[in-house]
Amino acid sequence: MTTWTLAERAAKMNSSAIREILKLTDRPGIISMAGGLPSPKAFPLEAFTAACQAVMQRDGAAALQYSTTEGLPALRQAIADFLPWNVDPEQILITTGSQQALDLIGKVFLDKGSRMLVEKPTYLGALQAFTPMEPVAVGVDSDDEGMLIEDFAKQVGTGAGKARLAYVLPNFQNPTGRTMSDARRQALVEKARELNIPLIEDNPYGDLWYEEQPPLPLAARNPEGVIYMGSFSKVLAPGLRIGFIVAPKSVYGKLTQAKQAADLHTPSFNQRVVAEVIKDGFLDRHVPTIRAMYKVQRDAMLAALEREMSGLNVSWTRPVGGMFLWVRLPQGMDAQTLLAAAVERGMAFVPGAPFFAGDAQGNTLRLSYVTVTPEQIDKGIAALASAIRSQHAA
């Protein structure tokens, strides 16, 4: 084997713990609540077929040509039109999935050793995206309403060690499913403004509410102090890799330069297809069908947990949107060990530990309810309860 010398940062890169787990659990016969994928039943296949044809017939050559780094003007305008605050399309940068937005933000804001704040727990993919920049990620204490402001202020730090950014997911968070309250949003925005810390607001799930729209985004409350990230992955289809950043003018240019170096631009064809699909209010008709489907599955999972977990000393979140629910096992029970017992019984979940920047809570796990039917949910949660009982007995 060749022994090449790799960059120090390469040693810090690791494959997502989730992807490794999915290799074990995506076997036939296993009811998997481990994945982070949207339901393929939610993909509007006909609308895409028609849009691909229309794009090729109308502007095929342009759709196949290089295009600008900032993104397709019609798509940027459409995004500005549907965001619930006053956004100039010139502030929108189309990205190759919102995952790329995390990479670009990391490159622009973080040096080796830079302090950055995240929720406890947070999106694992964000920790992964920031890791090559070698920052120090610090978890801020959080409750059911999101980051605790007092701990946020305490963790920001001062001088050269002051945090460069705080990364937050106010709506139906991945992995907990929790939503930040209106009051907490306001308090966080005000504290961040006072301390001059940029908030990175990641909102891929915000449109997937079940009963009522979540409170206004952080960016709507202080557009100059927040970098907002959105995505079409959960409302249309993730395979297109279309996401976006809304950035204050002060950093927009740097983010665009970072993107230019990374991939020149997001695929022209995909941008045009998405713009074609969403014109004429398609999302207003389509997204409610996803909400209705996921709500039935959320209800089935909550009912199954209520039924199966009684007396097991287990608690869980009650998400009002999104795709995930977070389970807390009895103190001392290890979700990683539990996973083996659960897979033996025919179900899989993701252990919670990798979602923490430090001080992992090993007695937590994430369940996704969107790619399983209510019948599978019943069977899967019964299998999980049986696995938990086996650990109690052990």
* 215 is a site residue for ligand PMP (CB under 6 A): no
Among 59-67, 69-77, 91-99, 288-296, the segment contacting ligand PMP (CB under 6 A): 91-99
Q: Are 130 and 116 in contact (CB under 8 A)?
A: yes
Tokens encoding 204: 């891929």
Residue 217 touches ligand PMP, criterion: CB under 6 A = no
Can you give the three-state secondary structure of 91-133, one letter per residue? HEEEEEHHHHHHHHHHHHHCCCCCEEEEECCCCHHHHHHHHHH
Q: Is 321 in the site for ligand PMP (CB under 6 A)?
A: no
To ligand PMP, the closest distance from the beta carbon of 32 in angstroms equals 15
177 lies in the site for ligand PMP, by CB under 6 A? no
Could you say whether residue 202 binds ligand PMP (CB under 6 A)? yes
| DSSP secondary structure code for residue 240 in this structure | G
- Distance between CA 368 and CA 21 in Å, rounded? 14
Whole-number Å distance between alpha carbons of 329 and 338: 10
Q: Per-residue contact track with ligand PMP, 243 to 272, x per CB under 6 A?
A: x-----------------------------
- Rg over alpha carbons for the chain, rounded to the nearest Å, is 21
214 near ligand PMP, judged by CB under 6 A: no
Q: Which residue is nearest to ligand PMP (CB)?
A: 97
Sheet holding 136-140, edge to edge: 92-96, 242-246, 226-231, 199-202, 165-168, 115-119, 136-140
- The smaller minimum CB distance to ligand PMP, of residues 364 and 391, is found at 364
**Residue 36 interacts with ligand PMP (CB under 6 A): yes or no:** yes
Report if residue 176 touches ligand PMP, rule: CB under 6 A: no
Phi and psi at residue 110, to the nearest 5°: -115, 135
Q: Choose which of 44, 71, 121, 125 interacts with ligand PMP (CB under 6 A).
A: 125
Nearer to ligand PMP, 123 or 228 (CB): 123
Residue of 92, 93, 63, 73 lying closest to 258 (CA atoms): 93
Per CB under 6 A, the list member of 33, 104, 120, 123 interacting with ligand PMP is: 123
89 with 71: CB under 8 angstroms? no
Contact track, ligand PMP, 43-72, x by CB under 6 A: ------------------------------
Residues that bind ligand PMP (CB under 6 A): 36, 97-99, 123, 125, 169, 174, 202, 204, 231, 233, 238, 243
